[in-house]
Structure 1
Amino acid sequence: MLHKRTWTPLLLGEARSVQSSKRAYWREGGNEPSGISEPLPKIHKLAINGTGTGAAAATSTVTASGSNANGFSQAAADSGNTLTNSTSALIQGGLRYTIYSNDIGYLCEIEIGTPPQSFLMLMDTGSADTWVPSTECLPQNCGNHFSLGANVSSTFQKFNRTFEVTYGSGAVSGVIGADTITVAGMTLDSHPIGVTLQESVQFADDKVPFDGLMGLAMSQLSHQDVPTIVDSLQSAGLIKNAILGIALGRFTDGENDGELVFGQADASKFDPSTTQTLPVTSSDGFWQVALSAVTIDGQDAVVNRQAILDTGTTLMMAPNDDIGNGMFSIPCTIEQVVTMTFGNVAFQIDVRDLIFQPITNDSRGSCVSSLSAGTIKNGDTWLLGDSFLKNVYMTTNVNDKTVQLSARMDAPGS
């Protein structure tokens, strides 16, 4: 059963140039990319620029009229406060993804404590820390989200250790605790978890639909200096390998078949003849792999890049030198074929995933592009979020330090 609560929708307004704010992984001392402002944590709240910079955020929602061949309808544009449950038939170790709004974020339910309490979590391959609010956190610091502490769980322990995680879009801090955590029917006893005592407004705001965050990158990225849930499931013998299988649904498909599987891949979700096994190219804990090429209508736009694959990011970001500055408007009726080549396979991006939302009330006019520019680590790295990942089946393997990408059964050209 999903939690029932209310929040206001994300806002858009009229513009020709849109500046995107995004959740990111830049750590303390790192550089936040240019063109980033007013972000919600890990999901996008779009702020509107005029011809210059610093324009205020929009104050009215977009209502799109009609629809176009790319699938934008009034329902899609007005879906800012919806959760779309998955109907996927689960295999062992699987969780159903819930889509927030029109693919803004992907959430799963887990249980923590005794008696078990359900928490709705943003599942994030771009970080490695898991946390939920503490019952000791004041409402102005953590919002109206479900919380964890000794007064709600008889098995909760609080340690004399603090933690702080700084994201590109905000920060959380608190203490390290431990409690019983159940994920996909598998229970870990006394597992470390962060409980927050302070969250920036980007996390604490009541309209943020998730209670906490589960980090699914590799453990060396953890600010809490604890193993990830995936590593612990393997250590406990609950899964044979520290593998995640990830399939993201798409709101405009009219159904949600998204799932997250611990310990194996779901062979029913992808075409095995397209599977590419890619070694991780970074030692910092991100799922970073070689991106051979990005092509537009069969012509290489860039070659020999790196890509970080991040389910906690809504859109995509490329280096400024590759695509120019800012975020762009494109025709909502775009028909160009965009592919990203990993290994020997070019994975096509569905045209619906090249556009985010209409800029005005005409869904056949201009749309916000799902691709923006910024600096990610160094000048050759792309950040590929859900706009790309909806088009592939991704399997991460901690033991082998590899990522496998495969075409979805329903992918363009399959």
Structure 2
Amino acid sequence: MRIHWRSVCSGPAEADMVRLLLLLLLCPYTSWALLRVPLRRAPSIRSQLRANGQLQDFLRDHHPDAFSRRYAHCFPAGTPSLRLGRSSEKLYNFMDAQYYGEISLGTPEQNFSVVFDTGSADLWVPSSYCVSQACALHKRFRAFESTSFRHDGRTFGIHYGSGHLLGVMARDTLKVGGVTVLGQEFGESVYEPGATFVLARFDGVLGMAYPPLAEILGNPVFDSMMAQKGVEAPIFSFYLSRRSSGSGSGGGVDGELVFGGIDEALYNGPITWLPVTAKGYWQIKMDSVEVQGVSSFCPRGCQAIVDTGTSLIAGPTNDILILQQLIGATPTNIGEFLIDCARVSSLPRVTFILGGMEYTLTAEHYVRKEMLADRELCFSGFQAVDIVSPQGPLWILGDVFLSEYYSVFDRGQDRVGFAPARHPADH
């Protein structure tokens, strides 16, 4: 949690000057336990494809779930790490997500931009040996320049709807948010096909889910931070700006990730906590989903993933198609759902009931407005994604939801907390 220097440094007024100076010198170090990573938001890959007139061709030429992803190993049967039984559950969007921050790997440091993704548990960046066009347009890890690099020897594969990501495993020193992690396992991608990687503003992905979700054997980054006592508390928290606000908490950034605690200046009211129901994703129970105050979906409860790596809110196909009708969204021939911009102010509220608390989104929150040439288009912030789990179909609370609610992920007590996010327009 946040430490105030007064609670550590208070003492009698008559304390001798040397002792006082020592305390004052030591006090600033206590705040280092809160590690802040500024997050930036770039135009989504969908909007870039759409602006370039490439979206329809891309969706036609690739799998219908081109913007969803499924992790799966791509090596012959018998490979020790082949676990196909799990990969069938790992289907959701992250390529459209464009909140990213900076990390460094190696000695001396090599900097990369990554998506901090609570929906996965692996860290990967492009390798200098990568042969794909996407790698040529992004920063690449040069293992031969790092004195702390350790070759692993294992290979890994990630299957996306639009192609495969293949690579080799490694270990090196990682720095993120002011903390150093020694010997962190990560992947060096050597093959990144697909237009989405070419357009992505980020170089790689840093997964922040539970270890069972990892395809790369070894500790995920936050587990390494905890094991090496790099954070004061086993907690991290996200603030994501609204698209319309232009910037986030200050300094021109669009969001903030805090390792080791929370930032009380970025939310209003108390945090409401929900227990994690399955330790893979950050999975919680959702009581129901209401449209304009009427319970419409999963009235007997269902499961939801809290995922910073998904840009929209996703749910089972049948439910989402009904929801699109209820908010007046109409399908297009490129897989998008359009809304009449003139009707946005009259559209119904959509409320998610979590732990008995109501989390309401107005149309201004769930409608995405984008400019195409000189025309404003309004798109639904909901998408259909079918994920089967032992607990039933899963919903995904992505960035459309998380930009309205500050989110806290507590590994110590296996729970997720929400509070209304404090945006500049709220002051």
- TM-score with structure 2 length normalisation? 0.71
CA displacement, residues 259-302 of structure 1 (integer Å, 9 cap, x when unaligned): 001111112212243x221111124x101111112122222222
Q: Which residue of 1 aligns with 2:340?
A: 331
In 2, are the aligned partners of 1:327 and 1:371 still within 8 Å (CA)?
no
The answer for the alignment partner of 1:316 in structure 2 is 313
State whether structure 2 residue 272 is matched by structure 1 residue 276: yes
Cα separation, partners in 2 of 1:115 and 1:203, compared to 1, 3 Å: farther
**Aligned-CA RMSD value:** 3.4
> Is contact 2:39-2:100 (8 Å) kept?
no
2:235 is the counterpart of 1:249: no
Separation in 2, partners of 1:175, 1:158:
9
**What's the counterpart of residue 67 of structure 1?**
none
Q: Work out whether residues 126 and 312 of structure 1, in 8 Å CA contact, stay in contact via their aligned partners in 2.
A: yes
Seen in structure 2, the aligned counterparts of structure 1 residues 405 and 173 have a Cα distance that, compared at 3 Å, is: same
Q: Distance in 1 between matches of 2:88 and 2:136?
A: 28
Q: Kindly indicate whether residue 302 of structure 2 is the aligned counterpart of residue 305 of structure 1.
A: yes
Partners of 1:352 and 1:373 lie apart in 2 by 20
8 A Cα contact 2:314 2:382, kept in partner: yes
Alignment correspondent of 1:120: 113
In the alignment, what sits opposite 1:87?
none
C-alpha displacement of 1:198: 1.6
Aligned in 2, Cα 1:198/1:337: closer, same or farther, shift over 3 Å?
same
CA–CA distance in structure 1, aligned partners of residues 232 and 118 of structure 2: 20
Contact 2:241 2:423 in 1 (8 A): no
Unaligned runs of 5+ in 2: 1-37, 74-83, 250-254, 323-334
Whether 2:49 is the aligned partner of 1:10: answer: yes
Deviations 1:205-248 (A, max 9, x none): 2x221111100111111111111111111111111332111111
Q: Which residue in the other structure is 1:371 paired with?
A: 382
- Correspondence for 1:43 among 95, 99, 110: 95
Q: What count of residue pairs does the alignment treat as equivalent?
A: 343
Partner letter of residue 405 of structure 1? Answer: F
The 5-angstrom pairing of residues 213-232 of structure 1 reads 213-232=205-224
Q: Which has the higher helix share?
A: 2
CA-CA distance at 1:171 after TM superposition: 3.1
- Deviation of 1:21 after TM superposition, in Å, equals 4.4
Q: Establish whether residue 391 from structure 1 lines up as the match of residue 388 from structure 2.
A: no
Conservation of the 8 A alpha-carbon contact between 1:124 and 1:215: yes
Is contact 2:70–2:90 with CA below 8 Å preserved after alignment?
no
Instruction: Write the distance in 2 (CA, Å) between the matches of 1:344 and 1:316.
Output: 20
Range that drifts further, 229-238 or 157-166? 157-166
| Correspondence for 1:95 | none
What displacement does 1:380 show? 3.3
Q: Alpha-carbon deviation of 1:400?
A: 2.0
Q: CA deviation at 1:142?
A: 2.9
Identity of aligned residues (%): 31
Structure showing greater Rg: 2
Alignment-mate amino acid for residue 298 of structure 1: G
Q: Which SS does the other structure have where 2:401 is aligned? A: helix
Cα shift at 1:120: 0.6
Deviation at 1:109, TM superposition (A): 0.5
1:71 aligns with none
The residue that corresponds to 2:419 in the other structure is: 406
Aligned residue type for 2:158: V
- Within the candidate set 181, 206, 210, 2:174 is matched to 181
TM-score by length of 1: 0.73
Q: What SS does structure 2 have at the residue aligned with 1:10?
A: helix
Query: Which one of the candidate residues 147, 152, 155 is aligned to 1:162?
Result: 155
The offset of 1:204, in angstroms, is: 4.0
Q: Which amino acid aligns with 1:308?
A: I
Amino acid at match of 1:317: A
Provide the secondary structure at the position in 1 that maps to 2:278: coil
Name the stretch that deviates more: 133-142 or 352-361.
352-361
Q: Report the CA distance shift for 1:358/1:187 in structure 2 as closer, same or farther (over 3 A).
A: closer
Q: Partner residue of 1:48?
A: none
Q: Which whole-Å CA distance do the structure 2 matches of 1:359 and 1:410 have between them?
A: 23
Contact 1:125 1:309 in 2 (8 A): yes
Is 2:102–2:113's contact at 8 Å kept on the other side of the alignment?
A: yes
Residues in 2 aligned to 1:145 and 1:234: alpha-carbon distance in whole angstroms: 30
**Aligned positions of 1:355-370 closer than 5 A:** 355-358=367-370, 367-370=378-381
Q: Counterpart of 1:110?
A: 103
Report the CA distance shift for 1:367/1:224 in structure 2 as closer, same or farther (over 3 A).
same
Residue 256 of structure 1 aligns with an amino acid whose one-letter code is G
**How does 1:336-351 map onto structure 2 within 5 Å?**
336-351=348-363
